[in-house]
Amino acid sequence: MIDVARVVVVDDDRAIRWVLERALAQPDLEVETLDRADRALERLLEAPPDVLVTDIRMPGIDGLDLMAKVREVHPELPVIVMTAHSDLDSAVASYQGGAFEYLPKPFDVDEALALVRRAVAHARERRRPVSVPEGLDAEIIGEAPAMQEVFRAIGRLSHSHITVLINGESGTGKERVARALHQHSPRAGKPFIALNMAAIPKDLIESELFGHEKGAFTGATAQRQGRFEQADGGTLFLDEIGDMPAETQTRLLRVLADGEFYRVGGHTSVKVDVRIIAATHQNLETLVEDGRFREDLFHRLNVIRVHLPRLSERREDIPRLARHFLAEAAKELATDVKVLTPEAEAHFTRLPWPGNVRQLENTCRWLTVMASGREVLVEDLPQELREPGATQGNTGDWRTAFRDWADRALAAGHTHLLEEAVPDFERILIETALKHTGGRKGEAAELLGWGRNTLTRKLKTLLPALADGE
């Protein structure tokens, strides 16, 4: 039995009512058209439809007033607002009034039908209670093997005050791990102070770290505690430590060695008990070799190192992370929790996510604001994440693309990957070399670094159609 949804269209334009009445004449839709909002109001209040489609400018009360009055009584009703006056004010007013979607005239009838169907699906979803999955309030989410190594490190360090260096690309969650290290340490009841070296002007870094005395420089109208004093007894997280200026590196080394420092412009030493957790997306060993980072400071910081994987290296975590961030965004924005369709969730796991967890979090926040229905479809994603190229993980480096393929294959349960990958790898190289030599096998073998006999043998196995002749 077909579940029929009731749709009411309110528009003073007879042609629009006629077009929509016929476009929406579907087995699963029951359509009613009305020509005035004031005449429609009483009927809508008594018997609300599944979806309301209304024009804005009409005699009597306009569509925005109609929407406001109906939604006072039926706040869950999805309303699609139409207007021939496609301006910014109309769009903003529609969404501020709680419109499900805004449809400028003239519109494509197929687009209008698809939008109504989405609104119907949204209305039905709203009737089903949504419970946020348990455990989404965890500090860090991760079931992937690479993240389990991070969890083990946090566990092993839970009774320690030792210095930790966190490595990982931008957006992988280095500060979250630093906070977890603090919260699971003997210093948990003391302050956790975070400072990003890359975000502070060089001439202010020392004052920010060590504080200053009154009159130490122009604008220093009072004594000020620095981050070290604020973190006394607790943890100081120094993010992007590789961007720390050389002179500040020297001062930091002395603090780590002596446990004391002088405020800028000060003459009395200040003693502190602070645990340092540093983080960087850069290769500190390379910076040391280039003379841009002190080797002795590097060894002071590099006591225990924790490496954070890229999001593309922990694809099995993406669905749970997305659910977590969608729930967080809904709470932050005081709105309903969006839910990924199975197709959207699968698409998420295939994306390369060059911005890592931070990009995923920002995407979930964007979808919470911009996606029309409660269910998030692939079409709801920003265009750069919908395009086919976005799912290929191609960042210009074949190794990255190959690694992403291996990640996906293993996550899907594939085995004997070498038996699948090596023949394809060699076949692609042979075809490409032959293309560059115009089919001349001797030259192709030389390009590949093989002997002529090796290439001939490979061709018989991998590309028999090309094995004969020159």
Question: Residue 224 gets which letter from DSSP?
Answer: B
Listed by start position, the domains of the chain span 5-127, 151-307, 311-386, 398-466
Contact indicator for 82, 107 with CB cutoff of 8 Å: yes
Give dist(CA 322, CA 324) in Å, integer: 5
Instruction: Give SS3 for 82.
Output: strand
Question: Residue 141 gets which letter from DSSP?
Answer: -
> Token pair for residue 8?
């009411």
Give dist(CA 82, CA 233) in Å, integer: 61
Q: What is the pLDDT of residue 89?
A: 66
Q: What is the pLDDT of residue 102?
A: 79
Classify domain 151-307 at the CATH class level. Answer: alpha beta
Asked whether this chain's domains 5-127 and 398-466 adopt the same fold, the reply is no
Cis peptide before 106 (omega within 30 of 0): yes
Provide the CATH number for the domain formed by 398-466 in this structure. 1.10.10.60
Give dist(CA 258, CA 241) in Å, integer: 20
Indicate the length of the chain as a whole number: 470
Topology given in CATH for the domain delimited by 5-127:
Rossmann fold (3.40.50)
Q: Tell me yes or no: is domain 311-386 CATH 1.10.8.60.
A: yes
Q: What is the pLDDT of residue 419?
A: 74
Q: What is the pLDDT of residue 393?
A: 46
Mean pLDDT by 10 residues, the chain (470 residues): 83 90 89 87 86 87 86 86 71 74 83 88 68 45 81 86 93 92 92 90 86 80 88 95 92 90 88 94 91 94 92 91 93 90 91 91 92 87 75 55 71 70 83 80 86 83 67
